[in-house]
Amino acid sequence: MNYALRRLVPATMIAALALTACGGGDEDDTGADGDEGTTTLRVGVLPIADVAPIHLGVELGLFEEQGLELEFGTAQGGAALIPAVISGEYDLGFANFVSQITAYSQGLPIMPVSPGDFSTGDLSGDTEGVVALPSAGVERPSDLEGLTVATNTLANNIVMAVSNVVAEDGGDPSLIDWVEMPWPDMPAALVDGRIDAGALVEPFLTIAQDEGGVPVVWHQALTDPDFLIAGYYTTASFAEANPDAIERFAAALDEARTYADEHPDEVREIIGTYTEIPEDVLARITLPRYAGDFDVEGLQHQADLALEFGMLETEVSIGEMLGRE
């Protein structure tokens, strides 16, 4: 079980919730804990391979077995979903953990619920990587210094991990010119010369390679072979009001993530139902590892790197954030 909310809601987060004057949903919104019948949960996700297990879980009836019905909304990046969850537009959201950590550090009532996916740890081909044309001359991480590099959202785990590997290679990551761009737009921007490189996730990583791009940096696998990429979260108030619904959601998702690792062909098939990616591309994408638990040490490393590279203003205790201190 990856349910990280088995605790009293910290007073600091309740105070932050009061300051934001946002509840993130309640029983009246969803018919959640205490009501008879099916509980409806509104979940904000992204159109990428990382969220395949939740869609697969719906198809397999795993959430239905838990008495849950899921309604999905999509966004360009996980950081963009956080305000929507805080405001109550969604009950849960999916985001990279650096964005979640950043929100938590700012006093927002973010509460992790379940991991979503992990790096494969394969330095010959991970599920996320930086792609450039051969003409860019990028042969090692430090060569990204001074180049224009696209990311889907700024101040996320991509920027943190790329900055880390560039610094470890002797480069100055502050000299990278980061630009924000939707993943689907990056392959064309690369070919057109509007960017020198793009930090891409699947299936857009494979599409960029089909357009002539070459993976030059496997930033997450280099930072941590078990890099926890992203996951699902809710707000303090919603978790407090609906603990049983959140626990049932985490249980269904746990089962779905394990099933996804064991049935990659079904994962590729389900990705085709919520994206417009051609079947021949889906057959070639590198899938992440889905099953696994929260790794406090690994996430603390991410938080410390985010602080080092200026994404956080204060230190964050991941053990406290996950309710394990």
| pLDDT for res 307 | 97
Q: Comparing 11-118+228-321 with 128-223, is the CATH topology the same? A: yes
Cis bond upstream, residue 225 (ω within 30): no
Q: pLDDT tens for residues 190-220?
A: 999 999 999 999 989 999 999 999 999 999 9
For 314, which DSSP code? S
CATH match for 11-118+228-321 among 3.40.50.2300, 1.10.357.10, 3.40.190.10, 3.30.1490.190: 3.40.190.10
| pLDDT for res 12 | 30
Residue 153, pLDDT above cutoff 60 = yes
6 pLDDT tier (thresholds 50, 70, 90):
very low
The mean per-residue pLDDT over the stretch 293-312 comes to 96
Contacts with 144 (C-beta within 8 Å, 6 or more apart), sequence order: 130, 138, 162, 166, 171, 173, 176, 197, 216, 217
The mean per-residue pLDDT over the stretch 71-99 comes to 91
The mean per-residue pLDDT over the stretch 224-248 comes to 97
| pLDDT for res 80 | 80
Out of 74-78, 103-107, 158-162, 258-262, which region has the weakest mean confidence (pLDDT)?
Answer: 74-78
For the chain, the structural domain boundaries read 11-118+228-321, 128-223
32 pLDDT tier (thresholds 50, 70, 90):
low
Long-range contacts of range 99-104, CB-CB < 8 Å, 24 or more positions apart?
A: 99/153, 99/155, 99/156, 99/157, 100/231, 100/233, 101/299, 101/302, 101/303, 101/306, 101/312, 101/316, 101/318, 101/321, 102/155, 102/306, 102/311, 102/312, 104/316, 104/321
The CATH architecture one would assign to domain 128-223 is 3-Layer(aba) Sandwich (3.40)
